[in-house]
Amino acid sequence: MTDDEIIVRVCGGETRLFDELVRRYQDHVYGMATRFLGRAGDAEDVAQEVFLKAFRGLEGFKRDAKFSTWLYRITFNMCLDWLRRNRKPNRSVSSIDDAAEVADGSEEPAESLIASQAHSRVRKALESLPERYRMVIRLLYYQELSYEQIGALLSVPIKTVETRLYRARRMLRQKLGELDR
pLDDT at 108: 53
Within the chain, which residues score under 70 in pLDDT?
Answer: 87-119, 179-181
pLDDT tens digit sequence for 79-119: 888 887 885 444 443 333 433 343 344 445 555 456 556 66
If one counts the domains in the chain, the total is 2
Q: What is the pLDDT of residue 44?
A: 94
Range of the domain at 111: 94-180
Domain boundary among 33, 64, 86: 86
> Residue 119: its pLDDT value, please?
67
* pLDDT value at residue 127: 83
Which helix (H) or strand (E) segment is 100 a member of? Answer: helix 94-103
Q: Classify residue 38 as left (phi > 0), alpha (psi -120 to 50) or beta.
A: left
> What is the structure's pLDDT at 176?
84
Q: What is the pLDDT of residue 85?
A: 85
**Helix 67-86 with 3-11: angle, nearest 10 deg:** 70
DSSP string, 106-173: SS-HHHHHHHHHHHHHHHHHHHTS-HHHHHHHIIIIIS---HHHHHHHHT--HHHHHHHHHHHHHHHH
Indicate the residue type of 22: V
Q: How many C-beta atoms surround the C-beta of residue 93 within 10 A? A: 14
Per-residue confidence (pLDDT) for residue 178, from 0 to 100: 73
Reference 82, options 36, 138, 133; nearest CA is 36
Same domain, 131 and 172: yes
Q: What is the pLDDT of residue 88?
A: 45
Nearest Cα to Cα of residue 10 among 80, 48, 75, 60 = 60
Q: Please tell me whether residues 109 and 159 are part of one structural domain.
A: yes
The residue among 86, 119, 140 that closes a domain is 86
